Chain A
């Protein structure tokens, strides 16, 4: 296989991996701080993409043409809407059932996700069909033989990495991060130390959801197409990636995301059977890895949670 083809595969895989990692980091944040699995997270991704698309539609119909301005508006609107959604999910769906069995949280968030998904389908104009997402980044790139290294892909990858790094810094270097880590370690003690538990939870959910918004916008910019059900598989894969890496561990989520993308790419190109089986292959390998390392590749003990 020529080098440029391998480079193209690596780039495709990296783009997928970054999207998965962004979603997985959200799952891991929620689990870290509250020990819950927020299964509507995938649909928050879709909501983010559609919020961005709505901002673009409104501004272009108002006559705005500058791609930079439009991009800012798309990201801003996606981030705002998902931050609000994340906080709302935490406040009205997760917190009320927090002391109930884990299964209940899983169920209510799963159902909340379905409601969100159906709302997009029913209430977004033409929401049941795939929608065109605008290309707001430069479409040119460097050509190396058959390998096309596109500027927009590079920009998306770099900004995704920066966003995850910023999240990491926020959690390890700021007072807010300290509060999040305190709540994650011991809720009761954190409360007695004067930390506003509810506020920390809401902020964490908003934060994780903003990462999801970026994944959604990235998905839209990368594929130039969004549709109401896009979050379904992204959510499952993001969750699998988070568990694979070690739920509650930021690095684990990143490793899991990229590993899953690599598995999918291998499943599609390197295996003798039809590429329709690539998800079967990827999830199959995840099952085997989970059997070998039940606590994830980077286990909880190896590093501090969140």
Chain B
């Protein structure tokens, strides 16, 4: 008997073909306006699967089932249903777009399919319910704003005025920044909700200027961020400009020129080359010869797939057991840093990168001359 078992183990370990095949799903926007990020995410998950399959120690052979949610809620629900109703699929790396991730939460819950969100940032995706199926490896706008508020407090900005756009996105930013900033003892001197296509902000800024805040927090996207920053200058209003992930792109700097200098912003994730396992990830990614780059959220899609496969290795291809196993993820090393899921399946130690504009480039705070003290933010005391 013992000899038979030994023979069996020997066969298993020497022949990869003898492994059972386990299927996991990747869902993301592969067509449409967000497809660049979707394809980067798919490739990154695919890379994780290929590396695992090349690993002789892995118990299973993995197959990635790729589904396109088009960044549309209805398509997303269809794909979630497809993955959920296929009992051969034991887990999913799911969604970049917040609206889609939000719409599919119920579907995954109904089918009991463990899902790990790899890109969407709306807090409600993990926090609006108690479904054990839903997890997320990237941070939410809550984390981003907490880091932001703590940073602003630490650097001696005690009086801040808020301008945010009145979409759910801008309102969310305002809500969380204000909460964390006030918890840290800061004072919000004024809050303005503005429309997302407003052109003139001089009236709002004049009113804010009269309150004399040290900084302006802006929760919104690039176009009006540019206008607000430019018009602050027109009014001779000197205050630190503090933005969100919504302005971290080259267009912000191009449209403002030298005025962009010293602007702060915070974003979930980090440039891949700065992540703990980023260099290895990029090198492996290059070796596979994918036609698209991993983009900002590729490393998260990779980490989510690794996490899912780790759980399967440990407890086997069983949806219920995988969900139970994922609940135990704590201080797990990954290429995006340590991952710990709270009781809502949200990674609580996500990498938030602090950015500052220096000489026409977004630099991480740590590598900037502002951190080294060579340059100073506006109104720092």
Contacts and interface: CB of A to CB of B under 8 A. Distances in A.
Interface of A: 1-2, 5, 8-9, 12-13, 15-16, 126, 129-132, 141, 143, 146, 148, 150, 153, 222-225, 227, 229-230, 233, 264-265, 268-269, 274-276, 278-279
A268 B226 contact: no
B207 to A, nearest CB: 5
B251 A129 contact: yes
A225 B193 CA distance: 21
Interface stretch (B252-260, B324-332, B361-369): B252-260
B53 interface: no
Given A132-B254, A275-B192, A8 B206 contact: yes
Contact of A276 (B166, B223, B231): B166
Interface string B228-267: 0011011110000000000000010011110100000000
B223 A146 contact: no
Interface in B182-199: 192-195, 197-199
A150 B234 contact: yes
Closest 6 CB pairs of A and B: A268-B203, A148-B236, A12-B202, A274-B193, A130-B255, A8-B206
A274 B230 contact: no
A233 B199 contact: yes
Contacts of A8: 206, 209, 235
B203 A278 contact: yes
B130 interface: no
Contacts of A9: 203, 206
B199 A12 contact: no
- Identify which of A129, A130, A131 gathers the most chain B CB atoms within 10 Å of its CB: A130
29 contacts: A1-B210, A8-B206, A8-B209, A8-B235, A9-B206, A12-B203, A129-B255, A130-B226, A130-B227, A130-B255, A132-B254, A132-B257, A150-B234, A223-B199, A223-B200, A223-B227, A223-B230, A223-B234, A224-B259, A225-B226, A225-B227, A225-B255, A264-B203, A265-B203, A268-B207, A269-B204, A274-B192, A275-B203, A276-B166
Contacts of B204: 268-269, 275
A269 B205 CA distance: 10
A5 B204 CA distance: 12
B222 interface: yes
Interface of B: 166, 192-195, 197-200, 202-204, 206-207, 209-210, 222-223, 226-227, 230-231, 233-236, 251, 254-257, 259
A279 B195 contact: yes
A66 B166 CA distance: 42
A274 B255 CA distance: 27
B230 A225 contact: yes
A269 B230 contact: no
Given A132-B257, A224-B233, 20 more contacts: A5-B207, A5-B210, A9-B206, A12-B202, A12-B203, A13-B203, A15-B202, A16-B200, A129-B222, A130-B227, A146-B210, A222-B234, A223-B200, A223-B230, A230-B199, A233-B199, A268-B207, A274-B166, A276-B194, A276-B198
Contacts of A129: 222-223, 251, 254-255
Contacts of B259: 224
Nearest to A2: B210
Contacts of A279: 195
Contacts of B236: 141, 143, 148, 150
A1 B251 CA distance: 38
A92 B223 CA distance: 34
A1 B203 CA distance: 14
B35 to A, nearest CB: 17
A229 B227 CA distance: 14
A280 to B, nearest CB: 10
Given A12-B202, A224-B230, A269-B203, A131 B255 contact: yes
A132 B194 contact: no
B255 A275 contact: no
Nearest to B192: A275
B255 A276 contact: no
B255 A132 contact: yes
A132 B245 CA distance: 21
Contacts of B199: 223, 230, 233
Contacts of A148: 235-236
A25 B197 CA distance: 25
Contacts of A225: 226-227, 230, 255
A275 B206 CA distance: 12
B207 A269 contact: yes
Contacts of B207: 5, 268-269
A154 to B, nearest CB: 13
Contacts of B209: 8, 146
Contacts of A150: 234, 236
Given A143-B236, A150-B234, A223-B231, A130 B251 contact: yes
A269 B206 contact: yes
Q: Which of A15, A223, A233 has the most CB of B within 10 A?
A: A223
